[in-house]
Structure 1
């Protein structure tokens, strides 16, 4: 004979599992310490300034 289950409880358990999976993804994406975030921002700023510094300005404007 089959086991009787409560569908409401099963739905709630499934929703809890999905919610926990989403929370784990968010912990990975947004759970960096402040020091790591500022370090990444600094590296990005240096990279952008180096890239901007290598642009050739004025060559197209002279015609």
Structure 2
């Protein structure tokens, strides 16, 4: 037999977990120094350039 639960508390528990996940994402995104952000942006740009340089000519013409 299924367990009986209170839907109001289940909704609150779900909302609290979603809020905590959002807060963790915000901390990860905004909780870095300017130097750390610039370093990660430079790394992403470097990886994009490497990937672009490795593409074949035919694929570049289609894009």
TM-score (norm 1): 0.52
CA distance in 1 between partners of 2:2 and 2:38 (Å): 61
Scaled by the length of structure 2, the TM-score of the pair is 0.52
Moved over 3 A (4+): 39-43
**Residue 48 (structure 1) aligns with:** none
Structure 1 residue runs without a partner (length 5+):
44-63
Structure showing greater Rg: 1
1:24 is aligned to 2:24: yes
Pairwise CA distance, 1:41: 8.6
Unaligned residue ranges in structure 2 (runs of 5+): 40-63
Aligned length: 39
